[in-house]
Every structure is written in structure tokens, then in C-alpha cells.
């Protein structure tokens, strides 16, 4: 009887073990199952355009999500002669960085933590000829870069492996000091130069978008690529408008009262606008025109004008075709960061 009870007990435990193994296996399969194509497309289309400017804000206290990983990398950096600069919030991103420098090797090291992308390390050297070399253990962003900026990705490498790889392969030429007081300014300036280059190209190339699609397992259809290009174009134009508004304030010499009256009625027309954006600005003014003014005819005229002329010229001609009381008032031309005409829309339009 005792042997029978022991046998039943062992059998029961074995059954429980089998059930647990089956549950764990099912959970593993669920976690690693390929995503439906729609999910991949959504992830790709939801990929944020990076901010065109960042600011490093010093952190007195910061709790790392994966403190052990950061501590391991920090211990290695310290052991080979790196000196800690401090921790920073990379403002306008979801990243934090622990910054280090190696005075003799003239290397900056950054240990990043990002809400979505996890933890990774970057090593960077600035050269006296203006070039910059960066090695990263983070995920590849597949962005094009200017020729004098070399950015290599070695996803998943340890900080030790990345450092050894960097020392063996970075160019052997005159480099700049890795000073603590220059770190934040160099970081922000480097980011700004790379983003300005992206803006000048009109955003990433189609090849870059194809690679991003491949990363998410999404077919790079025209619809997907065009949607990603539109996201960049809209973000670029919003950033340009912010810069143009600052330039306008510098040049216009307005009183506080005059600025409050104008700020929501300013329109920035430059040749980076798409046909849809240009026609949309003009169409908004048509909504306020008297009923006998044929909206459909004028809208079609605007589309034809946008197809045949550059945006600044097209808008000038379209504006002249509006009834006098509905015309946008031209205020001034700004040459930087892009040549643009600044108009003020009629008060009843806004």
C-alpha cells in the first residue's frame, strides 16, 4: 500500500511538471511568434522622426532601468582609463546618457538607456579635419549620413568589444581633445549637423526606408514608403517654420501687441512645401470668399498652378488672383534656413 501511494505521488508530481512545461512552451511560442503583417506595418509607420535638436540636461540623480548592465559597462570604462563626466537627460528624446571621456585616447563614451531601444554604448572621436567617427552597439537606424561622419553599428557587442574594435579601426589622424567641459556642446552640435544634413536631403533616402521596413519585416510597398516620407516632410516643414518664425521676429522689429495680433496669422511659403500643403493654404482662404466665387474652379486652378510652378511663385500668382480683401499680405523675405516669403492672412481667415 505504501509503495502504491509513493507511486501515485510521483505520478502526480510528474503530471504537474508536464503541465508546467506545456504552459511555459506555449508562452514561449506566443512571445516569439511572428507578428501579423499589419502589426509590423504599424510599428514601421509609427517610427518617430527623431527631433532635429536636442539639449543635454544634467541629472543629479537617475535610477537606471537596467542598473546592472550600466554598472558593468561603467566598471570596464573606469578600468581602462575613462573618467566619468556625468549623467544627462537627452531632452526631446526618451533617452538618458552616462557620459565618459578618455583623455589620452581622446574618446568620448556614452552609455545610453532608451525607453524603447534599451541600453547600448557609443564611442566617438572628433578629428581636427572636421570628421567624426562613432561606433555603436545599439540598433541600426539605417539613416544616411554625410561623408565626413562615419557611424558604424555593432549591435549587441559588449562595451569592451566595442572599445577594442574602435581602437583597432578608427582613423589614425589628428584628433581633438575629449574635454569634459566640451562634451554637451559637442554632442548637441553633432546632432544638429546630422539633422541639418537630413533636412537638406529632404529626409532619408528611399533605400533607407526600405532597410527600415526590412528591420520590421514589412514589405516596402510604395504606400508604406510614401507614408514614412510624408512623416519626415511634415516634421521638416514644422521645424523650418519654427526657425523662420524666430528669424521673422528678429527682422520685423514688432511690438508685443503687434506680435500677438500677427503670430497666429503668419504663413510661411517656401519651395520645400508639397503641392498638397500649398493648395491647402490657398484653399483655406477660398472658404472665406463670397459664394459667387466658384470654389471648385479655383481649387482646380490651384492644383494646376502647384504642378507647373515652384511653391513660392505659385502662391504669389494664386494670391494675386484672390479678391483684394481676401489676399494675404506679403511682409518680408527670409533667406535662412530656407528662402521663404512671409505672409499674413486676412483677419477673418484665422
The answer to whether position 144 is within a domain reads yes
Q: Are residues 105 and 184 in the same domain?
A: yes
- Phi, psi angles (nearest 5°) of residue 126: -100, 135
The answer to whether position 230 is within a domain reads no
Please give the grid coordinates belonging to residue 132. Answer: 567624426
Q: Are residues 72 and 194 in the same domain?
A: yes
Average pLDDT estimate for 142-170: 95
Q: Are residues 181 and 249 in the same domain?
A: no
Q: Are residues 254 and 323 in the same domain?
A: yes
- Phi, psi angles (nearest 5°) of residue 153: -110, 130
Q: Are residues 179 and 272 in the same domain?
A: no
- Phi, psi angles (nearest 5°) of residue 109: -120, 135
Q: Are residues 276 and 195 in the same domain?
A: no
The answer to whether position 211 is within a domain reads no
**Is residue 188 over pLDDT 70?**
yes
| DSSP-derived secondary structure for 247-284 | HHHHHH---HHHHHHHGGGEEEEETTS-HHHHHHHHHH
Through-space distance between the first and last CA atoms of the chain, rounded to whole angstroms: 92
- 348 cis-preceded (ω within 30 degrees of 0): no
Contact 137, 155 (CB under 8 A): yes
Which residue did the predictor score with more confidence, 99 or 250? 99
Q: Are residues 60 and 191 in the same domain?
A: yes
Q: Are residues 114 and 166 in the same domain?
A: yes
Q: Are residues 259 and 141 in the same domain?
A: no
Contact 69, 159 (CB under 8 A): no
Separation CA 63–CA 47 (nearest Å): 26
**Is residue 299 over pLDDT 70?**
yes
Number of independent structural domains in the chain: 2
Q: Are residues 162 and 295 in the same domain?
A: no
The answer to whether position 9 is within a domain reads no
The answer to whether position 47 is within a domain reads no
Domain range enclosing 118: 55-199
For residue range 333-346, what is the model confidence (pLDDT) as tens digits? 999 889 999 999 88
pLDDT of residue 186: 96
Q: HSE (CB half, 13 Å, CA atoms) of 337?
A: 18
For residue range 4-41, what is the model confidence (pLDDT) as tens digits? 445 555 555 555 656 555 555 554 444 444 444 444 44
The answer to whether position 29 is within a domain reads no
**Is residue 210 over pLDDT 70?**
yes
- 120 cis-preceded (ω within 30 degrees of 0): no
Q: Are residues 195 and 60 in the same domain?
A: yes
**Is residue 58 over pLDDT 50?**
yes
Please report which confidence band the pLDDT of residue 129 belongs to, taking 50, 70 and 90 as the band edges.
Answer: very high
pTM recorded for the entire structure: 0.78
Separation CA 277–CA 273 (nearest Å): 6
Separation CA 159–CA 344 (nearest Å): 54
DSSP E strand stretches across 7-117: 55-59, 83-91, 95-102, 107-114
Q: Are residues 244 and 343 in the same domain?
A: yes
Bridge partner list, 106: none
Q: Which residue has the cell 516669403?
A: 341
Amino acid at each position: 500500500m505504501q509503495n502504491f501511494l509513493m507511486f501515485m505521488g510521483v505520478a502526480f508530481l510528474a503530471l504537474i511538471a508536464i503541465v508546467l512545461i506545456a504552459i511555459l512552451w506555449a508562452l514561449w511560442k506566443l512571445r516569439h511568434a511572428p507578428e501579423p503583417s499589419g502589426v509590423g506595418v504599424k510599428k514601421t509607420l509609427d517610427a518617430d522622426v527623431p527631433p532635429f535638436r536636442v539639449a543635454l540636461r544634467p541629472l543629479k540623480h537617475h535610477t537606471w532601468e537596467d542598473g546592472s548592465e550600466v554598472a558593468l559597462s561603467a566598471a570596464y570604462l573606469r578600468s581602462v582609463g575613462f573618467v566619468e563626466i556625468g549623467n544627462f537627460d537627452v531632452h526631446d528624446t526618451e533617452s538618458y546618457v552616462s557620459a565618459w571621456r578618455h583623455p589620452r585616447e581622446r574618446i568620448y563614451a556614452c552609455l545610453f538607456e532608451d525607453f524603447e531601444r534599451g541600453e547600448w554604448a557609443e564611442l566617438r572621436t572628433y578629428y581636427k579635419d572636421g570628421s567624426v567617427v562613432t561606433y555603436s552597439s545599439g540598433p541600426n537606424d539605417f539613416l544616411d549620413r554625410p561623408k565626413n561622419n562615419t557611424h558604424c553599428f555593432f549591435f549587441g557587442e559588449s562595451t569592451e568589444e566595442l572599445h577594442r574594435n574602435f581602437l583597432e579601426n578608427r582613423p589614425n589622424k589628428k584628433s581633438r581633445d575629449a574635454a569634459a567641459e566640451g562634451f554637451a556642446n559637442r554632442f548637441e552640435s553633432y546632432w544638429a549637423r546630422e539633422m541639418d544634413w537630413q533636412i537638406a536631403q529632404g529626409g532619408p533616402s528611399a533605400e533607407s526606408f526600405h532597410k527600415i521596413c526590412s528591420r520590421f519585416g514589412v514589405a516596402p510597398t510604395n504606400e508604406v514608403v510614401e507614408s514614412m516620407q510624408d512623416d519626415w516632410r511634415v516634421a521638416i516643414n514644422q521645424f523650418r517654420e519654427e526657425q523662420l518664425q524666430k528669424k521673422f521676429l528678429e527682422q520685423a522689429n514688432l511690438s508685443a501687441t503687434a506680435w500677438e495680433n500677427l503670430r497666429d496669422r503668419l504663413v510661411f511659403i517656401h519651395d520645400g512645401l508639397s503641392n498638397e500643403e500649398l493648395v491647402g493654404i490657398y484653399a483655406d482662404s477660398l472658404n472665406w470668399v463670397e459664394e459667387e466665387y466658384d470654389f471648385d474652379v479655383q481649387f482646380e486652378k490651384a492644383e494646376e498652378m502647384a504642378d507647373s510652378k515652384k511653391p513660392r511663385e505659385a502662391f504669389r500668382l494664386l494670391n494675386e488672383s484672390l479678391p483684394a480683401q481676401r489676399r494675404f499680405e506679403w511682409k518680408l523675405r527670409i533667406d535662412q534656413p530656407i528662402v521663404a516669403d512671409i505672409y499674413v492672412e486676412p483677419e477673418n481667415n484665422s
